[in-house]
Amino acid sequence: MEHLTLYAMAMLFFVHFTIKISAQTATAPAPAGPTNITAILEKAGQYTTFMRLLKSTQVGNQINNQLNNSNSGLTVFAPTDNAFTNLPPGTLNSLSDQQKVALIQFHILPNFISMSQFQTVSNPLRTQAGDASNGQFPLNVTSMGNQVNITTGITNTPVSNTLYSDNQLAVYQVDQVLRPLELFGAQAPAPAPSKDKKKKASTFADGPASNTPTDSTDTSIAMPLNLYTFGGITFAAVALSAWWSF
């Protein structure tokens, strides 16, 4: 009887231990996969154009490689599809492939910045497009409370939402495409008229003055007066000769 009791207790202990191990295995989280910027944007939705540009410029692969093969962080400002729709017609088509790369890199900071850290950063911020300390593709931010505003010299827009943050990668929604001055700066003013054109215009304006009706009238009047005077002298000479003969 004693052996049966020990056997029953052993079986109960074995069953309890097996159930506990199974429960722990079922609730254990799956290993985290590599960070993928495209997957993050797909999950968030409304970023089709930005994802397409990340793919065509290969910048998306560069982001994933940097995040998964190094300890350096990144910050990405992701414009919505509406942001691209609101660009002037033909804006993207007017850019070369190299300029499209620069445009997408302008939306990426080479380090991780949380929303609270924007309050202490120094402007201008460096982007992946260039070194802001040398005046290349500068990006400025202002922060007040939980509100962060981005300025490029052309674009002025707030950070609308935090899409993703894991202390290595931060992805923020922006409702306008960040346009750098280097690519979208104000067009040069139209050139002033050349000197030759100005001279011709002046000559055309002054021309009629040299042939005014006043000058023409003076000339036509002067000629009959001269003839009349000459005729008067001739008549006087003939009259004097007749007087002496008489």
User: Residue 143 CB: number of other CB atoms within 10 A?
Assistant: 16
Give the model's pLDDT for residue 72.
86
Q: Return all residues near 162 (Cβ < 8 A) that are at least 6 apart.
A: 115, 170, 171, 172, 173
- At 71 the pLDDT is 87
Confidence of residue 185 (pLDDT cuts 50, 70, 90): confident
Residue 141 has pLDDT above 70, yes or no: yes
Do residues 54 and 36 lie in contact, with contact meaning Cβ atoms separated by under 8 Å?
Answer: no
- Give the helix ranges, DSSP H, for 45-89: 48-56, 59-69, 81-85
Which residue segments constitute the domains of the chain, with CATH numbers given? 37-184 (2.30.180.10)
3-state secondary structure of 165: strand
Distance of alpha carbon 34 from alpha carbon 133, whole angstroms: 33
Q: How far apart are CA 76 and CA 36, in angstroms?
A: 12
Helix (H) or strand (E) holding 244: helix 213-245
Model confidence at 214, pLDDT cuts 50, 70, 90, reads very low
The pLDDT assigned to 198 comes to: 47
Beta strand 140-144 pairing with 74-79: unpaired
What is the DSSP code (8-state) at residue 95? S
Chain centroid, CA 221 distance in Å:
72
Q: What is the pLDDT of residues 161-175, one digit of tens each?
A: 999 999 999 999 999
- In this prediction, residue 231 carries a pLDDT of 42
User: Which amino acid is it at 95?
Assistant: L
Higher pLDDT, 45 or 194: 45
